[in-house]
Amino acid sequence: MREVIQKLDEAGFVAYIVGGSVRDFLLQRPIKDHDIATNATPDEICSLFPHSITVGKAFGVIKVPTGSAEVEVATFREDLEYRDHRHPTGVRFSGPEEDARRRDFTINALFYDPKTSRILDPTGGIDDLKAKKLRAIGDARTRFQEDALRLLRAVRFATVLGFEIEAETAKAIHSRAKLIAHVSGERIRDELTRMLMSPQSAEAMEMLAEFKLLKQILPEVDALRGVVQAPTSLSGAPRAKRESDIWATTLRTLRFLQKNVGGLVAHSVPLAWAALLYDVGKPVALLKNDGKNFNGHEIEGSALAREIGDRLRMPRADIERIAAMVEGLLKFRDVFKMREATLERFVRLPYFDEMLELHRAQASSSDGNLAFYEFCAFRRRQVVSSSAETPKLIDGKDLIQLGFMPGPEFSAILRTIEDLALERRLTTKEQALEYVVSHFVK
């Protein structure tokens, strides 16, 4: 970053550090990356840095490679007309004050001049930082009308920074909430994931609900609000009155997960999303069961998790992992009744550590019964410490040699042998073959 600024300076151009890194520096928060704003045109930037990436050149943005990273260098500009509530039709190169006024929030429109060590603040961002207020630049309704993604960015910045949203900005979010429909699924996904991975995930979801944004982007989750839990928990223990609302329990789960996740698993994107979606099938199940119970909600929830994942264009591996955790979470209540092979297979699932943490968070946030968690955590530690893979004594080739043809019975035999091996009732290939001959050969 320094070498880029130095080279621009030596060529006679102005070069300021701009945006989030200046804000975070003043707030004494960790700085992830730096963006540079300059009066050099895109062509002039490319001349100075021949290996630049020019994908955003039409909008005055050039990415300059610096070792293993890239620095975004943008020409001071003002945006022209917005027609799709997301992107300007073009830009006009200008100066730093015009550049500041086109940005979203005052705290993101600060410039730092490394040459003079001074901060330029055209929109009053420093006062808002001191007051811990998030304020849109200029007319708030216009800022959100221009770019609807700013609606979600407002919630993220406010919750992550612990700022209050200024009154006119908050009114504008309420009035412009429906514009979020113009934002692509992947951009919505990215903002939501950042919120869910932050220590303020529950606060962010609450704020999205208050601003009616949750109903627009995740109506399946918004539907949890006001839905009453069953009078008893999965373990049979009476629920406290405070735990009667599914939405409230979901928020407590998010809070618990952020504060307590650890041990065998680190917090992950699929785990964060599964914590938000694990009860998402209950309103559908309640409707299908004539309002009597939530039977089958894990199947409904898994299907909805896939629909949401597809709509937000999540990676396929993440979608399947989230859906599997949503569907599998209910299995914890049956672990004391599982046959040994079923339990062994359960705790060997590749995503079991994440699901175990999710179960702990959910149980701690509802009835507080951690008996299932402690039992499964112990069994999981046994598997991890043994480093033993699922035993596979025979395979399809062995069955073909015995005269079996691939088909339903073929798979059933292999499954039976694997169960017996997991239960340590069969330990060698010879024993397995003898069992097949004595029980399946007609």
* Three-state secondary structure call for residue 136: strand
pTM confidence score: 0.83
Place of tokens 């407002």: 154
Distance of CA 61 to the CA centre of its chain: 28
User: What is the reported pLDDT for 232?
Assistant: 45
User: What are the start-end ranges of the H helices in 200-240?
Assistant: 201-210, 213-217, 219-222
User: What is the reported pLDDT for 241?
Assistant: 46
Q: Phi-psi region for residue 350, left (φ > 0), alpha (ψ -120 to 50) or beta?
A: alpha
User: What is the reported pLDDT for 124?
Assistant: 95
DSSP β-ladder status, 91-93 and 77-79? antiparallel
Tens digit of pLDDT at every position of the chain (442 positions):
788 888 888 899 999 999 899 999 999 998 888 899 999 998 999 898 889 888 888 888 999 888 778 889 999 998 878 887 878 877 888 899 999 999 999 999 999 999 999 999 999 999 999 999 999 999 999 999 999 999 999 999 999 999 999 999 999 999 999 999 999 999 999 999 999 999 999 999 999 999 999 999 999 999 999 998 764 444 445 444 445 689 999 999 999 988 876 544 557 899 999 999 999 999 999 999 988 899 999 999 999 999 999 999 999 999 999 999 999 999 999 999 998 888 988 998 889 999 999 999 999 988 889 999 999 999 888 877 765 566 677 887 877 887 777 877 777 787 777 777 776 677 787 877 877 778 777 6
- What token pair was written down for 396? 């399809």
User: What is the reported pLDDT for 264?
Assistant: 43
Place of tokens 């304020």: 135
Question: Rounded to an integer, what distance in angstroms lies between the CA atom of residue 306 and that of residue 107?
Answer: 37
Question: Rounded to an integer, what distance in angstroms lies between the CA atom of residue 121 and that of residue 395?
Answer: 70
User: What is the reported pLDDT for 442?
Assistant: 67
On whether the CB atoms of residues 23 and 53 are closer than 8 A, the answer is no
What domains appear along the chain, each with residue ranges and CATH number? 1-131 (3.30.460.10), 133-217 (1.10.110.30), 219-384 (1.10.3210), 396-440 (no CATH)
Question: Rounded to an integer, what distance in angstroms lies between the CA atom of residue 286 and that of residue 297?
Answer: 8
User: What is the reported pLDDT for 234?
Assistant: 45
